[in-house]
Amino acid sequence: MANMPSQLEMFAVPSPCIGVCQTGERGYCVGCFRSREERLYWLQVDDATKRTIIKACARRKAYAIYKQNKKNEQSEQGYNAQQDLF
């Protein structure tokens, strides 16, 4: 039974594409967070590699959200500090 594939391995890995297809400042798609190479070779890589790419995309997305939230906090603090002057 050790050679039995996990349930996830029994299904094809779907593309994370959401149809945005624009490259951001770091070279990743702003929709799915894949690199150009990851998008280009998606149909040619095996499912294990696709799962690795999807995990990397999730990390990239989490970092982008964190970075955006931090930027929003800083701009709100700057806005509130500016209002205190008047």
pLDDT at 50: 98
Residue range 29-81, pLDDT digits in tens: 999 999 999 999 999 999 999 999 999 999 999 999 999 999 888 877 766 55
Over 60: is that where the pLDDT of 85 sits? no
Select the more confidently predicted residue: 65 or 11: 65
Domain boundaries, the chain: 46-86
82: pLDDT confidence band, cut at 50, 70 and 90? low
pLDDT number for residue 76: 74
Q: Which residues of 6-27 are buried (b: 16+ CB within 10 A; e: fewer)?
A: eeeeeeebeebeeeeeeeeeee
Q: Is the pLDDT of residue 12 over 60?
A: yes
